[in-house]
Amino acid sequence: MKNICYLNSNDGTGILAFGVQTEIKASGINCIEKLQSFLDQNKDAYLFGYLSYDLKNDIENLNSSNFDGLDFPDLHFWKPKYVIRLQKENYIFLQGEKNPEIFDFLNYFLEEETDANFHKFDIHFQPRTPKEKYIQNVNKLKESIQRGDIYEVNYCQEYYAENVEIKYPLDTYFKLNNISKAPFSVYLEMEDHFVFCGSPERYIQKKNNKLISQPIKGTAARSEDIKIDENNKLALENSPKERSENVMIVDLVRNDFSKIAKKGTVAVEELCKIYSFSTVHQMISTIACEPKETSNFTDIIRATFPMGSMTGAPKVSAMELIEKQEDFKRGLYSGSIGYIAPNGDFDFNVVIRSLIYNRKTNYLSCAVGGAITIKSDPEAEFEECQIKVKKIMDGLQNE
């Protein structure tokens, strides 16, 4: 089946799309303009797709010249033949006529989801950035903060494996999802491009006439010891450093929203609330606004993308420093996957806590990052990255 996207909320609900009626892939200049044209031509249908982090170059006067082992288009959207909303034991058909093909695939998919007899992998990840260089780069970024070039920056590193053959991609996704159980989890398959995403973060949602964004800044490890786990949660909640990081990004999102919002409608609905997931505690804020009637999908993307939690502030200066200090092209990592409904509502995640795979080149990537501020301890930042990424990489190896 060509092009599969499963948006899995891990609460018994989700949306499954598969098959292709028409699609757009684009890279380089005028990507977003081409996307809007595609959306206008297919506005009465469900559309699924992704936005690469490197669309920043089409929004601002920026570039991406770092190593790219994955070679994904900058964006890829399509009109699926079939869209099904999964609600516990019920299946609601949103797009496409019921026929044997749809039920054959649905049965296959659900069998994969319920089969816990996962395959084991022998994959050896290696860091593209050695620890010593990571620490040097964090110190360079802190010097930029000290000079006043930026206030905060999201600095990322890549772990990668070559010559990887993933024969059972759906099995791989469900194995990893069994570990993370994240609310914005995604399985994405497009020809030779695959994403196994365990994201806890929403980039942006439009529902009726309300936009919300829910940036994450602040992470603490979970523990099987209840007392230690609760202490970790309280330490995160009361950390001045983590709260400061989060508030900076909240201000950035408020500023982004003000470009496309009706006057006086931008509001912070939740500030620095702690949410607990299977592998980590996270500090999350919720910012909302009412968009202008004249603001279409790509107007909103131009105003808010890439998401502030994955860039820093000020956004353009932070992205310039990211390109200078990082050793890999982010591509779809720290981009977004989601869908647009026929009524114009949409929902998109942040692509983090993910494995991204090119089957043609057998290249597997697992990137991870964190916010750097003037108070950042490079060693502590490195260890926080290990907390985020370890269970993903180890999860493939385990029985």
In contact, 178 and 116? CB cutoff 8 Å: yes
State the CATH class of domain 4-397: alpha beta
Strand bridging mode 216-221 / 280-289 = antiparallel
Please check the confidence at residue 116 and state whether its pLDDT lies above 90: no
In this structure, is the dihedral angle defined by the CA atoms of residues 200, 366, 232 and 278, taken in order, positive or negative? positive
Q: Which helix (H) or strand (E) holds 206?
A: strand 202-207
Q: For 201-234, what is each residue's pLDDT tens digit? A: 999 999 999 999 999 988 888 899 999 999 999 9
Strand partners, 212: 205, 288
On whether the CB atoms of residues 158 and 127 are closer than 8 A, the answer is yes
- Per DSSP, helices labelled H in the chain are 31-41, 56-59, 100-114, 131-147, 169-180, 226-237, 240-258, 297-304, 315-325, 378-397
pLDDT for 399 beyond 70: no
pLDDT (0 to 100) of residue 211? 98
Q: What is the mean pLDDT of residues 254-262?
A: 97
pLDDT of residue 180: 87
Q: With contact defined as beta carbons under 8 Å apart, do 192 and 360 qualify?
A: yes
pLDDT for the residue 202: 97
108 residue type, one letter? Y
Which pLDDT score is estimated for 388?
A: 82
pLDDT above 80 (res 143): yes
Average pLDDT over residues 53-81: 97
DSSP class of residue 118? P
109 vs 42: which has the higher pLDDT: 42
- Shortest CA distance to 286 belongs to which of 277, 294, 298, 274? 274
88, amino acid identity: K
Cβ 271 vs Cβ 285: under 8 Å: yes
Mean pLDDT of 117-141: 92
Nearest to 135 by CA among 374, 381, 352, 385: 381
Q: State the catalytic residue, choosing from 158, 189, 201, 326.
A: 201
Segment 320-348, tens digit of pLDDT: 999 999 999 999 999 999 999 999 999 99
Q: Among this protein's residues, is 201 annotated catalytic?
A: yes
Handedness of CA 93, 168, 173, 348 (dihedral sign): negative
Structure tokens given for 353? 């806590």
How much of the chain, in percent, has pLDDT values that exceed 90?
Answer: 82
User: What is the arithmetic mean of pLDDT over 365-370?
Assistant: 95
Closest alpha carbon to 216 in 291, 128, 282: 282
Say which of 217, 315, 329, 388 is annotated catalytic.
217
The domain segmentation of the chain, as residue ranges, is: 4-397
